[in-house]
Chains A and B, each alone.
Chain A
């Protein structure tokens, strides 16, 4: 699946990684609900690091939409809230 990290680009991540990403997403979601900026940044960056780890950057000549769009690692809770849905970053 194609995952976009905002302001970073798209990554081609194996579908099998979804479960792991979802478990990381739980942390992001909890931090978001708790309104804890530091925890949010930390959890989000864990998730993003895993995406970068597991995924391969999509080549520049690929033009297609993403299956997932994740916020940039330096986004504030406020910025992210504008993008985030009630169910977290990932829906499984």
Chain B
């Protein structure tokens, strides 16, 4: 009841089918425009679908061969889709590595900015924060791409699983049709099965196309991020020559300098109040004074007597 086809209601072009691609790739989505312009779009679309199925049917004298041919195409597409899923996953992983690199740069620049501020070097801090902002901008962009790519990957994976199930069902259907083959029934049954699976394959083909487009966009931008990272513009300031070095080198010398000052302050703090640091001998005698209270009472009687 539900499976009745009302071709006139089909208002969308069929997605570019993978089956027809092999047999008549020139007939793409635009094929509808070749059909009479006075016809409703729905009718035009139904004609495209039918012509695709017919093309397949016409190709073989025995319609049963069409089933085998279509099945072969399905298996080919499945292989392609699985490869496509792997490609998208590879691209996603590359993005993840870049995101980690950018995050590490941003974190480092942040801590450098803090060090610089602590050292009273606002100029260095400003430079570090500027680079960190650039890293963060890139990072946000990559995060969006990553989410996008992940969504495509999931869809393609699901599409691939769905197609696998349909292909399995098609194989069974194919064998049933062949076993009960009568010429009269063949055209209807085979036509329905083939156009049904063609639509499924077209959908998967479209999902694959979209995932590939996203991957290509991402790869172009990933290349740009690689260049950016390599240029040192938002760099890991401890690596490479060029301006990137400056912040860390100055901070290192600043912190080395401040370490010396800190040690000095500690040493000074260790002196008792009022003690003159002028004479080394006096400084050495300080611990002796403190450690000799037991002797002092003994010495005092001598002085008093």
B200 touches A7 (CB 8 A): no
Most buried by A among B3, B12, B14, B197: B12
A60-76 contacts to B, CB under 8 A, are 60-72, 74
A84 beta carbon closer than 8 Å to chain B? yes
Q: How far is the CA of A84 from the CA of B13 in the complex (A)?
A: 7
Residues in A whose Cβ lies below 8 Å from that of B169: 60-63
Contact of A7 among B13, B45, B210 (CB under 8 A): B210
Cβ-defined contact, A83 with B6, below 8 A: no
The yes or no answer to A89 lying at the interface (CB within 8 A) is yes
Contact size class for A? Answer: 35 or more
User: 1/0 per residue B165-198: CB within 8 Å of A?
Assistant: 1101110110000000000000000001101111
Pairwise interchain contact A90-B11, C-beta atoms closer than 8 A: yes
CB atoms of A7 and B5 under 8 A apart = no
A2 to B203: give the CA distance in the assembly, Å.
15
> CB distance B210 to A82 under 8 Å?
no
Q: Say yes or no for B23: interface residue by CB 8 A criterion.
A: no
A70-B12 in contact (CB<8A): yes
Q: Are B192 and A91 in contact (CB under 8 A)?
A: no
The docked-state distance in angstroms from the alpha carbon of A87 to that of B5 is 19
Which of B155, B162, B193, B206 is close to A60, meaning CB atoms less than 8 Å apart?
B162
User: How long is the Cα–Cα vector from A9 to B196 in the complex, in angstroms?
Assistant: 12
Q: Tell me if B12 and A69 are in contact (CB < 8 A).
A: yes
Q: How far is the CB of A83 from chain B (nearest CB, A)?
A: 5
A4 touching B9, Cβ below 8 Å:
no
Q: Which A residues touch B165, using CB under 8 A?
A: 60-61
Instruction: Please give me the residue from chain A that is nearest to B208 by CB atom.
Output: A7
User: Is the CB–CB distance between B15 and A1 below 8 Å?
Assistant: no
Give the chain A neighbours of B158 by CB distance below 8 A: 7
* Besides A63-B166, A65-B198, A68-B12, 8 new A-B residue pairs in contact (Cβ under 8 A), listed by A number: A60-B162, A61-B166, A62-B169, A63-B193, A70-B12, A85-B13, A85-B41, A87-B40
B positions within 8 Å CB-CB of A = 2-6, 8-15, 29, 40-42, 45, 49, 151, 155, 158-159, 162, 165-166, 168-170, 172-173, 192-193, 195-200, 203, 206-207, 210
